[in-house]
Amino acid sequence: MAGQGKISARQKMINLMYLVFIAIMAMTVAPEVLSAFGLMEEKFEKANEVTTDMNTKLLANLDTKGKENPKEFAAASNRAKQVSIASDKFYRFIDGQKKDILRMGGYEADATTGRLPFEKMKKGDKLDEKWFTGDRLTKEGDKVIAAIEQYKKEIKDILGIDQYYTKFIENFDKKFDITEVRDSEGVTKKWLDYHFKGFPSIASYTKLTAMQNDVKVTQADLNNLFLGNAAVEATSLDKYKAIVLADKSAFFAGEKFQGRIVIGKYANVPPTDLIVNGKEYDVSKVIDSTGAARVDFNVGNVGEHKIEGQFTFLENGEELPIKIEGNYVVVPRPNSATISADKMNVVYRGVSNPMTISFAGVPDNKVRASAPGLSGSGGKYVMKPQSGREVKISVTGTLDDGSTASDSKTFRIKDLPKPLGAFNGQNGAKLPRNNVEIGKLSASFGDDFDFSLPLNITSFTMKVPGKPSVNCSGNRLSPAAKTALRSARRGDIVQFINIKAKATGTSVRIKTVTPVVIELAN
C-alpha cells in the first residue's frame, strides 16, 4: 500500500526556504517603478523651486504695499509673513525626514548630475522601524503627526474667524487630512501607516516632497488671497503679469513645449453665466474670491481632449461673451506597481495564454503588439506559442505628435506539465474490488496549473500481482482486465501504468500520465 508518511525535518526546511524565496521575488519592485517615483519626485522638487521663487516675490510685493499703503495692506502683509514663518518651519521639518531616509538607507546623490539613485531606493524597512512599532506609532512617528497638526493649527490661527477664508480653510483641511483611512480590503488604518508603511524608500521620499509642494502651494494661495483681499483695481502695466498658456497640459519626454505667453491679470469680476463642455454651472457656487471658476467633470479616456465653453459677463448693460478654449491630456492612473519575477515570464504551448499589453501614457488604440502566435487588440491579447523555446513580443506606441516609442519582452515557452492520474478521483487509496471493476481513470494538470484544459484518457495498462499486464482502451477496465482483477487477493496492489491522454481543443502531445496504485479492500 502506498502511504503518505510524515514529512521529514529536512523536507520541512526545504519547503520553508522555497516559500521565503517566492515571497522575496514577489516583493521585488521593478526598477521602472522606482524610476517612475524618482521622476515624480524631481518634478515636485522643480515645482517647489518655482513656487518658492513666486512666494518670495509675492511676499516682497505685499511688504512694499504694506509700507506704501499701510491702511489697506499692512494687515495682509503681516499675515503673509506669519504664514511664511509657519510654512518654512514645517517645510524644514519634512526636509529633515527626507534626509533621514537618505542617511538610513546609505543613499547619496550623483556627484555629477545631482540625481538620487532611484532604482536602488527599494527598501523601506529603516523608515518603518523609525515610525512604526507593531500597530502603533513610535515617538518619531508621533512627531510627524504632531508636526502636521501644529502646521494646520498655526495657519488657521493666522487666518482667524474671517469668513473670507472659509473656502480656503475647507480645501486646506482636505489637503492635510490625516484621519484614518479604510483600505481596499475594508481594514481601517492610521494615516501614516496607510501612506508610508511597507513602501519603497523612493516612494516615501516622493510623498514627502509632494507634501512640501502642498506647503508651498498653500503659501502661494494665501499670498494671492491677501493681495486680492486688499488690491485696488488699476490699469497700469505693473498690475499685469505674464501668463503661460500651454497648448496642452501634459507633454511626453523629448517633445517640444508649445504654448503662448500673454500679458494679463486675473479679473475679480463675477460672470453672469458659465458653460464648459456643454454643462452649465451655477456661478454663485463655482466662482471663488479671485474670480476664478472651479469646475469639475469626468476627464474621459486616455488621450488628448478639448475644453470648450463660454463665460458671459454684463458690461454697460449688455452681455459680453468670452470663449473658453483649451485642452488636456489624460494618462493612465498609476494604480498598481509592476512586480515581476524575471524567471517566471512563461507561456505554455498548447493553450491560449491571455495577456494585457499597454504602453504608459498611450491609449490602447494606439498601441500595437506583435509576435508569432499573438492575436488581439485594445490591450487584450492571446498568445498561442508556436515552435521554439522562446517568443519575443514587440510593442510600439504612437504618441500624440506622431512619433513612436518601442519596447519588447521575451517569454520562455514551456510544454504542458505532466498530468496527474487518479482512479475514481483517488490515488494510493484502498477500494473494494467491485468499485475498481466499474470505476474509471482520470487525469488533470493539478491545482497549480492556471488553465482549464480537460483531459481524456485514451489507453492504459493494468497490472495485477502474479498476472500478465493487460492493455485497455479508453478510461475503464476491459473484460480481460476485469477477469485479471477477479483473480487478485485482498490487500493486493493494482497498478495502472502507461496512461495516455489527449487534451480537448489542442493537438499538442500530452506527456504520459503519472501511474495510479489502488489497494484492494476485499
What would the pLDDT profile of 492-507 be if each residue is shown by its tens digit?
Answer: 999 999 999 998 877 7
∠ CA(67), CA(70), CA(72), 5° rounding?
A: 130
Sort strands 516-520 and 429-431 into parallel, antiparallel or unpaired.
parallel
Each residue of 450-497: pLDDT tens digit? 788 889 999 999 999 989 999 999 999 999 999 999 999 999 999 999
Would you say residue 522 has pLDDT above 50?
Answer: yes
- Give the helix/strand (H/E) hosting 498: strand 493-503
Q: How many residues does the chain have?
A: 522
Q: Which three cell numbers stand for residue 317?
A: 448693460
Model confidence pLDDT, tens digit, residues 154-171: 999 998 877 678 788 889
pTM across the whole model: 0.41
Q: Which residues pair with 494 in a beta bridge?
A: 518
Task: Decide: 364 and 302 in contact? Cβ < 8 Å.
Answer: yes
Distances (CA, A) of 157 to 160, 173, 243, 512: 5, 13, 33, 79
C-alpha dihedral over 273, 274, 279, 285, to 10 degrees? -90
Q: How far is CA 206 from CA 41, 45, 58, 128, 193, in A?
A: 5, 9, 27, 16, 16
Residue 135: phi and psi, rounded to 5, are -95, 5
pLDDT mean over 85-112: 90
Q: Retrieve residue 136's grid coordinates.
A: 502603533
> Rounded mean pLDDT of the chain?
81
Cell numbers 481596499: residue:
184
Closest by CA position to 147, among listed 222, 81, 100, 88: 88
| 367-378 mean pLDDT | 91
- Stated as kind and residue range, the H or E segment containing 463 is strand 455-463
β-strand partners of 324:
309
Q: What pLDDT is stored for residue 481 in this prediction?
A: 93
Per the structure block, which three cell numbers stand in for 327? 485642452
Burial level of 272, CB count in 10 A (0-12/13-18/19+)? exposed
- pLDDT at residue 238 above 60? no
Distance CA 321, CA 139 (A): 58
Q: List pLDDT tens digits, range 282-340.
A: 877 777 766 677 777 776 777 777 778 888 876 434 577 888 777 777 766 544 445 45
441 in Cβ contact with 464 (< 8 Å): no
Phi then psi for 110, rounded to 5 degrees?
-60, 130
Helix or strand or coil: residue 374?
A: strand
User: Which residue type sits at 263?
Assistant: I
SS3 327: strand
369 vs 383: CA distance, rounded Å: 11
Dihedral angle of Cα 230, 232, 237, 243, to the nearest 10 degrees: 50
- The whole-angstrom separation of Cα 79 and Cα 229 is 12
H helix or E strand, kind and range, residue 355? strand 353-356
Burial class (CB in 10 A: 0-12, 13-18, 19+), 116: buried
